[in-house]
């Protein structure tokens, strides 16, 4: 039997990279998946690439009206949620002396505020015993120059998982954080080759991570394979944050 047979999953920011790979794997494992994205062309391309058992919903996870529209779509089409991967997030470089109000609001607005309301607004549709996966980062425990606001936002996400595990324990909804290391996705491109090569050089495994390696970890957290796992931060980083 497939691991996610008859399950309904919502994945925010699912048009590329790790989230798209996860959506494809969830469908292969029997789930019906709703993905979101801010760009219609990319969203349509992602839906076409997944091929079946998927609905694309245009919207920004930092926009509460868009989240309401997302969950209204889920309610009308499926009426329930079993799995939520709050994947939408962003990161930009800015050293302490360069941080602007705009930079702070952009990063925290999506990574923290967006994650909070993505989860909160899903709960009325959530089946008891379901799984919530939050998108973290090894930055939550590392001191990476220029990533102060981003790192703090991911540390906040880690804190959410702890408190929400307790908030939702009566409903047996598990909450975990999936924290990638350096993964070969389009999100890396703005950093430039020199910075990417430096990050890769720090990976004990010796090679950059692949989106599919994040997807299989997400599948573990989404499925009954992880039924006794809640409140944790699972690092999928080739050892970068562990050594």
Q: How many angstroms separate the Cα of 148 from the Cα of each of 71, 96, 107, 144?
A: 32, 7, 11, 7
Q: Which residue has the tokens 């699912």?
A: 14
What pLDDT score was predicted for residue 243?
85
Q: Domain-by-domain residue ranges, the chain?
A: 8-234
What pLDDT score was predicted for residue 188?
77
| Contact (CB, 8 A) for 59 and 36 | yes
Active site residues: 150
What pLDDT score was predicted for residue 71?
98
- The sign of the CA dihedral 58, 63, 66, 70 is positive
Per-residue pLDDT of the chain (243 residues; tens, 9 = 90+): 899 999 999 999 999 999 999 999 999 999 999 999 999 999 999 999 999 999 999 999 999 999 999 999 999 999 999 999 999 998 888 899 999 999 999 999 999 999 999 999 999 999 999 999 999 999 999 888 888 999 999 999 999 999 999 999 999 999 999 999 999 988 777 777 887 888 888 899 999 999 999 999 999 999 999 999 999 999 999 999 988
Among the four given CATH numbers 3.40.50.720, 3.90.1150.10, 3.90.1170.50, 1.20.58.740, the one describing domain 8-234:
3.40.50.720
């Amino acid at each position: 039997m497939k691991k996610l047979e008859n399950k309904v999953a919502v994945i925010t920011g699912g048009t590329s990279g790790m989230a798209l790979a996860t959506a494809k794997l969830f469908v292969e494992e029997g789930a019906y998946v709703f993905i979101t994205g801010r760009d219609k062309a990319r969203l349509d391309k992602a839906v076409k690439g997944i091929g079946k058992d998927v609905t694309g919903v245009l919207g920004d996870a930092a926009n509460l009206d868009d989240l309401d529209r997302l969950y209204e779509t889920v309610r009308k089409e499926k009426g329930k949620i079993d799995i939520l991967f709050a994947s939408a997030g962003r990161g930009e470089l800015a050293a302490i002396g360069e941080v602007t109000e705009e930079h702070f609001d952009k990063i925290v607005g999506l990574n923290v505020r967006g994650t909070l309301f993505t989860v909160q607004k899903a709960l009325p549709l959530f089946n008891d015993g379901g799984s919530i996966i939050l998108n973290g980062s090894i930055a939550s425990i590392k001191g990476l120059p220029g990533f102060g606001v981003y790192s703090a936002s991911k540390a906040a996400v880690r804190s959410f998982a702890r408190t929400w595990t307790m908030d939702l324990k009566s409903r047996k909804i598990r909450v975990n954080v999936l924290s990638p290391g350096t993964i070969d996705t389009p999100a890396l491109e703005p950093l430039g080759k020199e910075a990417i090569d430096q990050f890769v050089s720090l990976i004990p495994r010796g090679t950059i991570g692949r989106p599919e390696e994040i997807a299989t970890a997400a599948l573990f957290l989404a499925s009954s394979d992880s039924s006794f796992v809640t409140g944790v931060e699972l690092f999928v980083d080739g050892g970068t944050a562990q050594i």
